[in-house]
Amino acid sequence: KAGVTQTPRYLIKTRGQQVTLSCSPISGHRSVSWYQQTPGQGLQFLFEYFSETQRNKGNFPGRFSGRQFSNSRSEMNVSTLELGDSALYLCASSFSVGADGYTFGSGTRLTVV
Amino acid sequence: AQTVTQSQPEMSVQEAETVTLSCTYDTSESDYYLFWYKQPPSRQMILVIRQEAYKQQNATENRFSVNFQKAAKSFSLKISDSQLGDAAMYFCAYRRQTGANNLFFGTGTRLTVIP
């Protein structure tokens, strides 16, 4: 079966712009989590969604937001982009919240110039 | 707060040899999960092995095994018969058993396999 699909794979944006990243989980998976990966801060949790509800949120400013649709697909949005938002954004899906089987996508590489 | 520490930024191993990657963590909880993930150049995080804290027996997955020392809060990964395809970044991660389910990751160890 298809894995976790993240689009786009690469993205270049200018400071001050906003961006939307997409994640399609494995079929049947209802939980989607987002992580930011940077050389300086490593892997940090952004948020988790289950059945269209945000269940958990990491320590990120309000410029970072997300949502989940009825088909479990998720989007995350970053507004007023800063240079420090340049990162690899990884999405992971699982059957339910707390399930062990996290499957990650290949990420979206965002570069802010 | 949970913290995960990987003290070896880089490691190398000869093909077919054995290598051990170190990980320590800090938590006040008694029940939790520990994971090792592999991230090759393709960027996708791939689960290598998983350990439940309540299990005393060390987890094993083919050539991968862990040494879980709960009292010492240590969780090392041993890779036996190393293969070229094992070259990647390896991340140790912690997750609570109840409550918030997010993963706390270490900073990673870059493993190079020498032919």
**Residue A99's pLDDT band (cuts 50, 70, 90):** low
- Measure A105 CA to nearest chain B CA, in Å: 6
CA distance B3 to chain A (A): 12
Q: Where are the beta strands (DSSP E) in chain B?
A: 3-5, 10-14, 19-21, 24-26, 32-39, 46-52, 60-61, 64-69, 74-79, 88-96, 104-105, 109-114
The rounded mean pLDDT for chain B is 94
pLDDT at B1 over 70: no
How high is the pLDDT of residue A1? 64
Please give the helix or strand (H or E) that residue A60 lies within, else none. none
pLDDT at B99 over 80: no
Q: Are B39 and A102 in contact (CB under 8 A)?
A: no
A96-100: list long-range contacts, CB under 8 Å, 24+ apart.
A96/A30, A96/A31, A96/A50, A97/A31, A97/A48, A97/A50, A97/A55, A97/B101, A98/B98, A98/B101, A99/A31, A100/B33, A100/B50
**In chain A, which residues have their Cβ closer than 8 Å to the Cβ of B106?**
42
The answer for B 43-102 residues in CB contact with A (under 8 A) is: 43-47, 50, 91, 98, 100-102
Q: How confident is the model at residue A96 (pLDDT cuts 50, 70, 90)?
A: confident
Residue B98 in this model has a pLDDT that exceeds 90: no
Cα of A58 to nearest chain B Cα, Å:
9
Sign of CA dihedral A46, A68, A91, B80: positive
Comparing B23 with B99, the larger pLDDT belongs to B23
Distance CA A42, CA B41 (A): 16
Residues of B in contact with A56 (CB under 8 A): 100-102
Q: Give the pLDDT mean for A36-57.
A: 94
- Average pLDDT score over residue span B97-104: 84
pLDDT score of B65: 97
Q: Do the beta carbons of residue A35 and residue A43 sit within 8 Å?
A: yes
Please, which pLDDT band fits residue B106 given cuts at 50, 70 and 90?
A: very high
Whether residue B43 and residue A45 make contact (CB cut-off 8 A), yes or no, is no
| pLDDT tens-place string over residues B33-85 | 999 999 999 899 999 999 999 988 999 999 999 999 999 999 999 999 999 99
Nearest CA in chain B to A97: B101
- Mapping DSSP to helix (H, G, I), strand (E, B) and coil, where does residue B100 land? coil
With a CB cutoff of 8 Å and minimum separation 6, the contacts of B102 are A33, A45, A48, A56, A58, B95
Yes or no, beta carbons of B43 and A42 under 8 Å apart? no
Q: How many CA atoms, within 13 angstroms, populate the side-chain half-sphere of residue A35?
A: 26
pLDDT score, position B82 = 98
